[in-house]
């Protein structure tokens, strides 16, 4: 199934953040909740635990929608980080130190051109990963499902991350500039 | 200006959520000081997003009532606004580290390990150990093990070995193969975060750490 254009999910998250729109939430849920559940099951959760944690992840998506910055991440990326953190809690009961985020207050709005460019880069990255040779793609999937330790991850990932990294760097520079 | 950065492997493992806590702490601390690695990390998170997006929906589908149940939960969930979280704001410790110390540099519980060198073990779980080291200017950086992967990140001052110089924010990535004896530069005393793969063994620690002041 071809994934929908990333800008649709950004639009829904903004409706949730600004209007507490439950219809937008239901549409987002329809796409992401089954994937989050599959992700958690591939990461070792059983059916009941995955179901419960998926709900937790989607509740977090709802409550933290205003913190989503679409000039630095796609909706899928942001939801992935929430699901990953839930998985760490769930499986390892370990703390996860996080870098303090750059503070961006309610008055800062991401630049719309940055947003569009980042969403397009994210869609292209998805396509590029889908097109990798099986061996390489499977290594990456296994890493993100939590099956590989640091030492088992290949030195050369072959991932084309240069352009998306540059985009995010620009958005970070702009944010730093606005904050200073 | 930071010149020694995190590796792709470390960033990917951190993004995937599989690094031991002590290593995650070093990654988080470096990323706070380095926008280049912050952007690289975000690009690895984007890989995770792409993997999630491409995941076939579970073969055991969500229960029919999952959406209804979640909608009921969000009705009673308050939105989290964008506001500045409480900060410790230390000039030396990044926030991620300050949380582990429980305050700024003044809150670090140093213990002397000889020759003016002090250390403070940070409370992390499991298979790797994180410690802060205080090395007076001009002293050798203690040898903290060389068993497996070892990260050393400078927070204050600088250290150098024959080939490289490491200043605030720089992170040295070493493994078993590397034999080196860095020395803290003259000037400001050096504070760094050192993470080692080997679990902490109280008995071994002091002798091994007390040895290597040969080059001064
Ligand atoms: Zn860096």
pLDDT digits (tens, 9 = 90+) for B90-107: 999 999 999 999 999 999
> pLDDT band at B210, cuts 50/70/90?
very low
User: Do the domain assignments include residue B125?
Assistant: yes
Position B16 pLDDT exceeds 90: yes
CB A81 within 8 A of CB A67: no
Chain A residue numbers with beta carbons less than 8 Å from the beta carbon of B86 are: none
Q: In which order are the strands placed within the sheet that holds B183-184?
A: B165-167, B158-160, B183-184
B25 touches chain A (CB under 8 A): yes
Task: Average the pLDDT over B27-54 and give the result.
Answer: 97
Is position B67 within any domain? no
Residues 116-155 of B with CB under 8 A from A: 124-126, 149
| pLDDT value at residue B146 | 61
| Structural domain containing residue B136 | 107-214
Q: Between B177 and A20, whose confidence is greater?
A: A20
Instruction: Write down the pLDDT at residue A156.
Output: 82
> Nearest-5° angle of CA A69, CA A74, CA A79?
90
State the pLDDT at residue B105. 96
Residue ranges of alpha helices (H) inside A1-156 are 6-19, 22-42, 47-63, 75-92, 112-130, 134-144
Please identify which residue in the block is written with the tokens 């409370």: B123
pLDDT digits (tens, 9 = 90+) for A55-113: 999 999 999 999 999 999 999 999 999 999 999 988 776 689 999 998 888 788 888 99
Q: Which pLDDT score is estimated for B179?
A: 66
Q: Which of residues 74-133 of A touch B (CB under 8 A)?
A: 74-81, 83-85, 87-88, 94-100, 103-106, 121-122, 125-126, 129-130
As given in the structure block, the two tokens for residue B51 are: 């993997």
Q: Which of B17, B49, B62 lies at the smallest CB-CB distance from A76?
A: B49
A59 contacts B46? CB cut-off 8 A: no
Band the pLDDT of B213: cuts 50, 70, 90: very low
For chain A, the structural domain boundaries read 3-179
What DSSP state is assigned to residue A148? S
Q: Can you tell me the distance from the alpha carbon of A54 to that of A177, in angstroms, rounded to the nearest whole number?
A: 37
Q: Do B47 and A103 touch (CB under 8 A)?
A: no
Q: What token pair was written down for B79?
A: 């939105």
CATH classification number, A3-179, choose in 3.10.129.10, 1.10.287.130, 1.10.1740.10, 1.10.3720.10 = 1.10.1740.10
The mean pLDDT of A121-149, rounded to a whole number, is 95
pLDDT in the model for residue A26: 97
Compute the radius of gyration of chain B from its Cα atoms: 21
Q: What distance in angstroms lies between residue A30's CA and the mean position of ligand 1's atoms?
A: 37
Strand stretches in chain B, DSSP E: 111-114, 117-122, 129-135, 150-156, 158-160, 165-167, 171-174, 183-184, 190-196
Q: How many CA atoms lie within 13 A of A45 on its CB side?
A: 26
Asked if B36 reaches chain A (Cβ–Cβ under 8 Å), the answer is: yes
The dihedral of CA A33, A37, A42, A43: what is its sign?
positive
Three-state secondary structure call for residue B133: strand
Q: Is residue B15 part of a domain?
A: no
User: What is residue A4's predicted lDDT score, i.e. its pLDDT?
Assistant: 61
Q: Are B9 and A153 in contact (CB under 8 A)?
A: yes
Instruction: Quote the pLDDT of residue A93.
Output: 60
Q: How many domains does the structure of chain B reveal?
A: 1
Is the CB of residue B98 less than 8 Å away from at least one CB of chain A?
no
B4 located within any domain:
no
Confidence at A2, pLDDT banded by 50, 70, 90:
very low
- The 10s digit of each residue's pLDDT in B142-161 is 776 567 888 999 999 999 98
Exposed, middle or buried by CB within 10 Å (0-12, 13-18, 19+), for A178?
middle
How far apart (Å, rounded) are the C-alpha atoms in residues A104 and B84? Answer: 8
Q: Looking at residues A119-125, what average pLDDT do you find?
A: 96
pLDDT at A141: 96
Give the separation between CA A18 and CA B79, rounded to whole angstroms: 10
CATH no. for residue B163? 2.60.120.10
pLDDT tier for residue A16 given thresholds of 50, 70 and 90:
very high
The pLDDT confidence band at residue B177, using thresholds 50, 70 and 90, is low
Residue with token string 């999952």:
B66
Task: Give the separation between CA A79 and CA A67, rounded to whole angstroms.
Answer: 12
Could you tell me the pLDDT band of residue B57, with boundaries at 50, 70 and 90? Answer: confident
Percentage of chain B exceeding pLDDT 90: 66
The mean pLDDT of B173-178, rounded to a whole number, is: 75
């Amino acid at each position: 199934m071809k994934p929908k254009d990333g800008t649709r999910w950004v639009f829904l998250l903004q409706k949730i953040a600004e209007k507490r729109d439950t219809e937008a939430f239901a549409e987002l849920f329809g796409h992401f909740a089954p994937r989050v559940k599959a992700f958690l099951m591939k990461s070792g959760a059983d059916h009941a635990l995955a179901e419960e944690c998926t709900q937790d992840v989607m509740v977090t998506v709802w409550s933290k929608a205003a913190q989503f910055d679409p000039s630095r991440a796609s909706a899928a990326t942001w939801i992935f980080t929430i699901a990953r953190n839930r998985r760490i809690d769930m499986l390892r009961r370990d703390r996860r130190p996080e870098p303090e985020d750059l503070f961006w207050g309610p008055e800062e709005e991401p630049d719309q051109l940055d947003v569009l460019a980042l969403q397009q880069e994210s869609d292209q990255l998805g396509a590029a990963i889908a097109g990798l040779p099986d061996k390489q793609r499977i290594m990456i999937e296994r890493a993100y499902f939590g099956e590989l330790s640091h030492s088992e991850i290949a030195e050369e990932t072959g991932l084309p991350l240069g352009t998306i990294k540059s985009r995010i760097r620009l958005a970070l520079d702009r944010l730093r500039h606005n904050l200073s | 200006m930071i010149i020694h950065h995190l590796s792709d492997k470390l960033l990917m493992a951190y993004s995937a959520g599989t690094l031991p806590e002590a290593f995650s702490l070093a990654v988080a601390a470096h990323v706070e000081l380095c926008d280049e690695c912050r952007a690289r990390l975000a690009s690895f998170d984007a890989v995770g997003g792409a993997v999630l997006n491409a995941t076939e929906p579970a073969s055991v589908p969500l229960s029919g009532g999952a959406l209804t149940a979640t909608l009921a939960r969000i009705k009673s969930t308050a939105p989290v606004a964008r506001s500045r979280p409480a900060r410790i704001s230390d000039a030396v410790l990044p926030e991620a580290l300050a949380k582990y110390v429980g305050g700024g540099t003044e809150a670090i519980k140093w213990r002397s390990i000889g020759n003016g060198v002090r250390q403070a073990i940070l409370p992390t779980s499991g298979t790797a150990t994180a410690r802060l080291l205080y090395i007076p200017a001009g002293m050798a950086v203690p040898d903290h093990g060389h068993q497996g992967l070892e990260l050393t990140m400078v927070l204050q001052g600088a250290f150098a070995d024959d080939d490289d110089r490491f200043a605030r924010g720089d992170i040295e990535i070493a493994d078993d193969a590397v034999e080196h004896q860095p020395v803290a530069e003259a000037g400001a005393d050096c504070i760094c975060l050192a993470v080692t793969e080997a679990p902490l063994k109280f008995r071994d620690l002091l002798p091994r750490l007390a040895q290597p002041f040969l080059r001064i």
